[in-house]
Amino acid sequence: MSETTITTQVVKLDAESTSIILLTPRQLIWRRFRKHKMAILGMIGVALLLVFIIGGSIFIPLDRANQVDLKANLSGPSQTHLMGTDSTGRDVFNRIVYGGQISLLVGLLAVLIEVSLGTVIGGIAAYYGGWVDIILMRFTEAMLSIPSLFLLIVLGKTFGKSVQTINIFGLSFSGSVGIVILVIGTTSWMYLARIVRANVLSLREMDYISASKALGASNSRIFFSHLIPNTLGAIIVSSTLGLAGAILTEAYVSFLGLGVQPPTASWGNTLTSAQSFIQRGAWWLWVFPSLFIVFTILCINLMGDGLRDAFDPRSGKNI
Amino acid sequence: MWTYLSRRLIQGIFTLLIITILVFILTRLSADPLAQYATNPNMTAADRQALRERLGLNQPLPVQYLKWLGLALQGELGKSFFSKQPVSLMISQRLPLTLILMVTAQIITVLLALGLGIISAVRQYSITDNIVTSLSFIGFSMPIFFIALGLMLIFAVQFKLWGLPYLPTGADIWSTKDPLQLIRHLVLPVTSLVLIQTAGYARYVRTSILEVLGLDYIRTARAKGLTERSTLYKHALRNAALPFITILGLDIPYLLSGALVTESIYAWPGMGRLFWEYAQRGDFPVVLGVLLIVSAAVVFFSIVTDMVYTLIDPRIRLS
């Protein structure tokens, strides 16, 4: 290796490091995220999926997804039914389009509940400390100690007794959608609460917090404008991964028949009947909804992985 | 050490107490255990009321909770409303079958994950590593019913159609005394569990080995002229194994709870299915019994794992 190449490298490095100093944290994160090819791929995958679901629901009316045609039940993929029909003759392709809406909606709203509960519980435990901390953390540990599927089933049974039909924007949903969102949200906040607590505990001791206290800032001001924004990175990463988890959980719960109830379609409940009819060779009931679930979770997880690396200051060296 | 242990024990007891209150309230609210008699023509409303009083179900919930807790502390978990058998007997019948399934799957998983994790860490960014990493990422994003139903479709349904020797998908294995028959029934559920679980573990092994391989003492070992083989097996693996042991220890209790979805797909009469069957009927002594045993195991093993970890890792000093 000649000496000239080495010097050019040094110069290049220098130019790069000066430009890094000028970057805002947000730009820095976006740069690191962009470097993560798989994460970008995941983002494109999610975008394609959204186009498919939203576009599909423009072209296909909701009635066609819920239309029962007993004469054409359990027929394989064909020209008229691209992905076959289920045991009551409903078109699987149409149900995947509308099921996707429900699955993503359940995922997003459940994560919203998860993030709110996790942030508030973890934050309060860390900020107030003492008995509040002890009781909240024991409660968190208690929730974590019950196997999650068991907890979901018990909660699903508890709330699932009173199911009504909800009408929003002229579309009618089975009330079970709301229950599933509630159940998934209230059983998944525990890890986030621990992360937020650990973060706030270390931030609480910092000088700028003492400074705002000395300036007379109220508890809620310190909490919401100093402590929470500084743990936002951790919250964003775990809510992205939490979204994948929530969609997967919806699939599990609906697969067991405790989740979203027909006629409203979800990816999970499209699969429910697959279990009984796979013995008769109805492979399309299994393969299409499952592939959509796997594809979605995979893309979101890839994005989450990229975000985690982007938010992690330790990965700063390879920009 | 001893003060730390006693503090952890007190914490554990406190957590368990919260768990019992939580599961008791949720389970009791989830379903009416006498609902199964509501349509029974041989039973009048007065009969049902009498039964309710005899079972103590008309008392206030806190009284019922304290009675149940008192009996549970003496190892008396009550009787199932549905099968009339003592809960402890039902659990002890299901536990061996769950353990056969779960322990077999766990042993294969750990061996496979260690092998794959080591290979892909040592040959980082090679083709093998990329394949292992991609596959484990996909497996990580996959719901177990996708694999379980797929294996069932191929090896049970299609093989039978094609006239090939096919594998059974769950039949009456209660009465099976023939070990060969038991193994044949184990193949599909164990394969499903192994495929899914290996994904997560292999990722974990790879990361922790890579982390250790980047440390200074490994560079020293290499500088001393040690072969790559003994650097890896004598130096790196020992330290990389520490976090892996923690994960394994924390997963032991879930061997008891079984695999609810896999067990229900393959009709394996284990703990998961016991819980699922009786939760659907609202048979709360069984549901509570299973939840109590599994959650207690989770709390117990987290303390044990902590203790073992401090014993095998001299870097941790407890104060």
* Model confidence pLDDT, tens digit, residues A62-73: 666 666 666 666
Residues of A in contact with B275 (CB under 8 A): 150, 153
CB contact under 8 A, A290 and B145: yes
- The pLDDT score that the predictor gives to residue A2 is 42
Between positions 228 and 247 of A, the ones with CB within 8 A of B are 244
CB contact under 8 A, A301 and B140: yes
Query: What is the second-level CATH architecture of the domain B95-270?
Result: Orthogonal Bundle (1.10)
| Interatomic CA distance for residues B133 and B131, integer angstroms | 5
Longest CA span, chain A: 80
- The pLDDT score that the predictor gives to residue A202 is 85
- The pLDDT score that the predictor gives to residue B313 is 77
Helix (H) or strand (E) holding A165: strand A165-168
- Torsion angle in degrees (nearest 10) through CA of A30, A36, A40, A42: -120
The residue ranges of every structural domain in chain B are 95-270
CB contact under 8 A, A141 and B15: yes
Per-residue pLDDT of chain A (319 residues; tens, 9 = 90+): 344 444 444 444 554 555 555 677 777 788 878 887 888 888 899 999 999 888 887 887 766 666 666 666 666 777 676 677 777 767 778 888 888 888 898 999 999 999 999 999 998 898 888 899 999 999 999 998 888 888 888 888 777 666 666 666 555 666 778 888 888 999 899 999 998 999 888 888 888 888 888 898 888 888 888 888 888 888 888 888 899 999 999 888 888 888 787 777 888 888 887 777 777 777 888 888 888 999 999 999 888 888 888 876 655 444 4
Number of H helices, E strands in chain A: 15, 2
Three-class secondary structure of residue B174 per DSSP: coil
Of A45-59, B159-173, B231-245, which gets the smallest average pLDDT?
B159-173
Do residues B117 and B201 make contact, with C-beta atoms less than 8 angstroms apart? yes
Report yes or no: A87 at the B interface, CB cutoff 8 Å: no
Q: Set out the domains of chain A in order of their start, with CATH numbers.
A: 1-34 (no CATH), 38-318 (1.10.3720.10)
- The pLDDT score that the predictor gives to residue A161 is 62
CB contact under 8 A, A286 and B15: no
Report yes or no: A248 at the B interface, CB cutoff 8 Å: yes
* B302 pLDDT above the threshold of 50: yes
Q: Best residue in B19, B136, B159 to probe A by mutation, most A CBs within 10 Å?
A: B19
Tokens for B43, please give them.
């039973």
Report yes or no: A41 at the B interface, CB cutoff 8 Å: no
Nearest by CB to B22, from A142, A278, A293: name it.
A142
Nearest by CB to B157, from A244, A279, A301: name it.
A279
pLDDT in tens, B76-89: 787 887 778 888 88
In degrees rounded to 5, what are phi and psi of residue B141?
-95, 10
Average pLDDT over all residues of chain B: 83
CB contact under 8 A, A145 and B295: yes
- The pLDDT score that the predictor gives to residue B152 is 85
Question: What count of Cα atoms within 13 Å lies in the side-chain half-sphere of residue A160?
Answer: 25
Query: How many Cβ pairs closer than 8 A exist between chain A and B?
Result: 126
- The pLDDT score that the predictor gives to residue A319 is 40
| Interatomic CA distance for residues B109 and B193, integer angstroms | 8
- The pLDDT score that the predictor gives to residue A155 is 83
pLDDT in tens, B264-286: 888 888 888 899 888 888 788 88
At residue B146 the predicted structure's pLDDT band, cuts being 50, 70 and 90, is confident
The predicted complex's ipTM stands at 0.82
CB contact under 8 A, A146 and B291: yes
Report yes or no: A256 at the B interface, CB cutoff 8 Å: yes
Single-letter amino acid code for the residue at B313: D
